[in-house]
Amino acid sequence: MKKKILQLRIEIKGIKPPIWRRILVEDNITFLDLHKIIQIAFDWKGYHLYHFSPDNYDEVRILSMEDEFYEPLDLLDFLDLDESKDYEESKTKLNKFLKKEKDKMVYCYDYGDNWEHLIKVEKILDFDKKVKYPVCIKGKRAAPLEDIGGVYGYYDFMDALQDENHEMHDDYIEMGYKFYMKEFDAEEFDLDKINEKLKDYKKFGVYEEDDDYNDEDESISDNMENNKKIIDFSDVKKFQKNKKK
């Protein structure tokens, strides 16, 4: 069968303004490959378990077969594995479930924070030998930090960044520096950086070194002193107020 290209739109559910990426991938790669691609595109770190849930396939899951340290899991006990409905991500290709335009599935990452990403096939394209796949062609906004507490923790995090008097303001500013060596900017999206990392996406693994990450207190403190800008999250605060009505 001739190889096709899937144009996928991937959006983190529950956050407004939306955080999303548009990515071109070959339809014959595995869901393990797609997991790595999503991790890079959203700047996740790969610390946690995950699974895919295809739309219109009752209770089917495509699962990670390893824990956060890439050790084999006893999934029969840990995730109530149903061998008739569950598939191993390293052996299952995208074109088994993503076959046509508008096909959808959910990628759930981190069973604590429960980050659900809606994946939708926007287009099915011909393979172009001039293009190096996968490639991110568009997107908006920075993904949340790891272990921030899910959607509601993310809103609390941003609320604290906006309020200098918030008891967690300084802690959250420092948390941003630990991940990015600068203040967290919710509007940041670096397409070139994503695509540079995607060139070696198969090497993505747990706790791999990140050039932008440095947890040495002196470096963090120095950078914080050089940049005191407070992020404007007025749009998010309006959204929070609307949710409470």
* Co-location of 159 and 117 in the same domain: no
Integer-rounded Cα radius of gyration of the chain: 19
* Co-location of 67 and 130 in the same domain: yes
Instruction: Burial-class residue 26 by CB neighbours within 10 Å (0-12, 13-18, 19+).
Output: middle
Within-domain flag for 134: yes
* Co-location of 159 and 135 in the same domain: no
Within-domain flag for 205: no
* Co-location of 9 and 114 in the same domain: yes
Within-domain flag for 73: yes
Q: What's the domain range around 40?
A: 4-140
Per-residue pLDDT, 91: 92
What would the DSSP string read from start to end of 212-236?
Answer: T----HHHHHHHHHH--PPP--HHH
Within-domain flag for 9: yes
Identity at 30, one-letter amino acid code: T
pLDDT, tens only, 68-86: 444 444 444 445 555 557 8
Tokens standing for 11?
Answer: 């959006």
* Co-location of 107 and 163 in the same domain: no
- Specify the pTM: 0.77
Show which of 78, 108, 140 is a domain's final residue: 140
* Co-location of 154 and 122 in the same domain: no
Show which of 101, 118, 140 is a domain's final residue: 140
* Co-location of 175 and 112 in the same domain: no
Tokens standing for 236?
Answer: 């998010």
- With CA atoms as reference, report the closest residue to 184 among 236, 118, 113, 107: 236
What would the DSSP string read from start to end of 79-142?
Answer: S---TTTEEEGGG-BGGGT--STT-EEEEEE-TTT-EEEEEEEEEEEE--TTS-SSEEEEEESP
Per-residue pLDDT, 141: 97
* Co-location of 134 and 76 in the same domain: yes
Torsion of CA 114, 55, 187, 211, to 10 degrees: 70
Contacts for 46 with CB less than 8 Å, ≥ 6 apart: 36, 39, 68, 204, 205, 206, 207, 208
Q: Name the domain count of the chain.
A: 2
Give the span between the Cα atoms of 16 and 40, in whole angstroms. 21
Q: From the centroid of its chain, how far is CA 135?
A: 15
Within-domain flag for 36: yes
Q: Residue 51, SS3?
A: strand
Give the span between the Cα atoms of 169 and 172, in whole angstroms. 5
pLDDT, tens only, 176-228: 555 655 577 889 999 999 999 999 999 997 444 444 444 444 443 444 344 33
Strands of the 61-63 sheet, one edge to the other: 86-88, 61-63, 50-54, 104-109, 115-126, 4-12, 20-26, 135-140
* Co-location of 63 and 176 in the same domain: no
* Co-location of 10 and 128 in the same domain: yes
The stretches in the chain having pLDDT less than 50 are 67-78, 206-245
Within-domain flag for 197: no
- With CA atoms as reference, report the closest residue to 88 among 72, 112, 105: 72
* Co-location of 88 and 158 in the same domain: no
Within-domain flag for 237: yes
Identity at 73, one-letter amino acid code: L
* Co-location of 15 and 85 in the same domain: yes
Per-residue pLDDT, 243: 38
